Amino acid sequence: KLLNLINESNILIIPGGNPEMLYYKIAMEFELLYVLKHYNGLIIGESAGACIQFREYFITKENNYHGYKAWYPGFGVLDDTFYIDVHTRDNNDYTEQLQKISNKRQKKIYALHEEDSILYNRETMKLKYFGNVNIIIPKKRK
């Protein structure tokens, strides 16, 4: 029944919350990983719902329920051409943590505050952002 609802829809909204629990429910309990990965409609993700759309995503220690920075598997709807940080903070230590991740992975990080959002077109691979998004650009390796 849930599969039919998804297949008949044009828009999916994936809520926030605990991303590990959300991934488990969708991928393991409902077995919808393949369906979501190949969904052609508009997907709106809030917080965790945005993060888990990537093939792999990170959560900083400040935002992680476990209290440490970690990487998790996502749905793979979005290739990891960039990363996002939801609930970002504007302080030097936090920004340095994001810069290290960006440098190590050699990918931009779009750091989103509570009122920020990004729009990513999967077909054109173009990104627009709204609000005061901090963009962390990787420093070239020597």
pLDDT tens profile 11-67: 999 999 999 999 999 999 999 999 998 999 999 999 999 999 999 999 999 998 889
Please state whether the predicted TM-score (pTM) of the whole model is above 0.85: yes
Percent of the chain with pLDDT over 90: 87
SS3 101: helix
Characterize the bridge pairing of strands 126-130 and 117-121: antiparallel
d(CA 23, CA 98): 23
